[in-house]
Amino acid sequence: MKRKQLFTAGKSLGLVLFLSLILAFAKQGKDRGSRDTFAKIKPSKETMIAKQKDTATFAAGCFWCVESQFLQLEGVKKVVSGYTGGSVPDPTYKQVCTGTTGHAEACNIIYDASVISFDELLEAFFVAHDPTQLNRQGNDRGTQYRSAIFYRNGKQKEKAEYYIKKLNEERVYDQPIVTEVSPLTVFYRAEDYHQDYYNQNKSEPYCQYVIQPKLKKFKKVFKDKLKH
């Protein structure tokens, strides 16, 4: 596997972000990167006084994969799979799968900001999938599988854009990041059978051959930040 490192100290939003040893899962037909330690990021004053629970909304391919990965992290209280970013109200999974609704499969990640920061969730986001693949992740193809960060406020927007800028500048990936950064409008909760999908369907082929390998790598990368 090809390893690339990013060691950057940058100041953004009155906050010094220490991006250390970010080794990306850059993919071009196969995984080409990994990382050994979770980056140490100094929390902003705003983060330190934030309410106990906050929410990040990410799209990174199949939401079954994203949900299973983020649920592993200490401080993540709940992950809700759903649809956002499109124009069709109350979409169904069948509709979203056509790729014509404009919606992406996405996850609301509800977390304790005193335990894990939005910055750390961003780092996990960029490790959990390949942000250089346009409208696809692996064999899952279509705009519904696009890479996107749906921000809830100006702080989230600026941090997302900052990370993308620095990762591109340091050439962590072989190709430019194509992650969309857009304001969150309406998030539609997906059907019940999509919630906690991996834990409920571990014997399914997709879970065994797609989710499990991703989950194994994710847990290895974030071994110091996993729930006990």
Mean pLDDT of the chain: 83
Mean pLDDT of 68-81: 98
pLDDT value, residue 52: 58
Q: What is the mean pLDDT of residues 39-55?
A: 52
pLDDT value of residue 45: 43
What ranges make up the beta strands (E) of the chain? 7-12, 15-20, 53-60, 76-84, 104-112, 136-137, 140-141, 147-151, 180-183, 188-189
- Higher-pLDDT residue of 99 and 13 is 99
| Cβ(102)–Cβ(87) below 8 Å | yes
The alpha carbon of residue 14 and the mean position of all alpha carbons in its chain are separated, in whole angstroms, by: 24
Q: 167 pLDDT exceeds 60?
A: yes
Cα 121 from Cα 77, distance rounded (Å): 13
d(CA 124, CA 202): 22
Instruction: Give the ranges where the chain is alpha helix by DSSP (H).
Output: 45-48, 63-70, 93-97, 118-128, 154-169, 197-200, 205-206, 212-221
Q: What pLDDT sits at residue 201?
A: 98
Residue 39 has what pLDDT?
A: 39
pTM: 0.80
Positions marked active-site: 62
Task: Count Cβ atoms within 10 A of the Cβ of residue 209 and give its class: 0-12 exposed, 13-18 middle, 19 or more buried.
Answer: exposed
pLDDT at 10 over 80: no
Q: Supply the pLDDT for residue 73.
A: 99
pLDDT at 228: 83
What pLDDT digit, counting tens, does each position of 136-148 carry?
Answer: 999 999 999 999 9
Higher pLDDT, residue 128 or 39: 128
Which domains, from first to last, does the chain contain? 50-220 (3.30.1060.10)
